[in-house]
Amino acid sequence: MSNRYDTIFEEIENKILELIVKAKVLDELVDIRNKYLSKKGEFSVLMNKIREVEDKKAFGESYNLARKKIETRLSEKIAEFQKFALNEQLKSQMIDITLPGINQESGKMNPFFKVKREIEDIFIGMGYTVENGPEVDSDRYVFELLNIPKDHPARDMQDTLYIDDNLLLRSHTSSVQAHVMEKAKGKPIKIICPGKTFRRDDDDMTHSHQFAQVEGLVIDKNINLGNLKATLELFAKKMFSKDAKIRFRSSYFPFTEPSVEVDVSCFACKGKGCSVCKGSGWIEILGAGMVHPNVLKMSGYDPEIYSGYAFGIGIERVAMLRYGIDDIRRFYQSDIRFIEEFNKKVED
């Protein structure tokens, strides 16, 4: 519907519509709205002319029609720009799922920890629980309660690192035996304790001032050497090979009587004799024995009623045999090539 006042608005209306068409960015449209349609905008102020005109209704209609047209075009164009901006943003954030991914190298386990876990698993499977004990311990637990009194020559076998006259870095995990017995208060025991040990050794291919052992201790009624042998044979079969055999050689440890050195049949040559077993067909793997009556007595067990066995396994030694590692120092050097090489061997 047109009326005689339309011409008043025509020129400015066309000008604004043209500016809208030409606008290239959103800001320009905002500027147009401010300049012409705000309260004191160049278009808005035309309404003031209503005072001077005769037919105020027709003037108002004309004004509203023109304003509506401008506003509609402006909103349409603003919406168009916003849609475009959104699309651009989405495009820039698009992920191409067909691109190849970035490979993350997964960590590999040091053979030491593999073997430690395997040993734990084997004994847990036989009903043992895993205990811990202090790495810095007193003379009483590392020596006295294990039947190694002061000035006993056996102390020389384990020259260790003292912190003061009484405290020292434990030279073997056997020290945990007395702690566990103290806690068990005369009840049966079936534990292993894996952990670090320390000795004042020179570091060479087979020695390190720090290494690790797994101590085993079983105390109950009617425990005998046969139980110890069966346990260690099962361990050897699971750890080294299905047809592994073990043999006991008599030995001496102050805390066990009788004491034995345990050999496993060479898994490399099946006992025929090779470089791994130095021709003998047997490899020494651990020390063990029946818990000495003095040790039982000192920790509150009556040796007339209770008996027990104990053993100590060197973790690095087992790992070196198992994986053909020639130098104990390799375990501690954090050389990633060693770990990778070792992991390759295991997967083969």
Binding flag, residue 312, ligand DAH (CB under 6 A): yes
Cα separations (Å) of 238 from 200, 241, 244? Answer: 33, 6, 9
- Report the residue number, 16 or 228, with the smaller CB distance to ligand DAH: 228
Binding flag, residue 174, ligand DAH (CB under 6 A): yes
Binding flag, residue 172, ligand DAH (CB under 6 A): yes
- Report the residue number, 115 or 291, with the smaller CB distance to ligand DAH: 291
The DSSP secondary structure of 283-313, one letter per residue, reads EEEEEEEEEPHHHHHHTT--TTT-EEEEEEE
Q: Is 69 exposed, middle or buried (0-12, 13-18, 19+ CB in 10 A)?
A: middle
State residue 41 phi and psi, 5-degree precision: -65, 155
Q: How far apart are CA 161 and CA 158, in angstroms?
A: 10
Q: Minimum CB separation from ligand DAH for residue 290, in Å?
A: 8
Binding flag, residue 288, ligand DAH (CB under 6 A): yes
Q: Minimum CB separation from ligand DAH for residue 104, in Å?
A: 41
Q: How far apart are CA 127 and CA 122, in angstroms?
A: 9
Stretch that binds ligand DAH, among 133-141, 272-280, 281-289, 294-302 (CB under 6 A): 281-289
| From 215, 240, 244, 316, residue interacting with ligand DAH (rule: CB under 6 A) | 215
Binding flag, residue 256, ligand DAH (CB under 6 A): yes
Residue 299: CB atoms within 10 Å: 21
Binding flag, residue 194, ligand DAH (CB under 6 A): no
Binding flag, residue 110, ligand DAH (CB under 6 A): no
Q: Minimum CB separation from ligand DAH for residue 194, in Å?
A: 13
Q: Are 181 and 133 in contact, with CB atoms under 8 Å apart? A: no
Buried b (16+ CB within 10 A) or exposed e, 176-211: bbbbbbeebeeeebbbbbbbebbbebeeeeeebeeb
Stretch that binds ligand DAH, among 25-33, 49-57, 65-73, 304-312 (CB under 6 A): 304-312
- Report the residue number, 194 or 339, with the smaller CB distance to ligand DAH: 194
Q: Contact residues for ligand DAH (CB under 6 A)?
A: 172, 174, 215, 253, 256, 287-289, 310-312
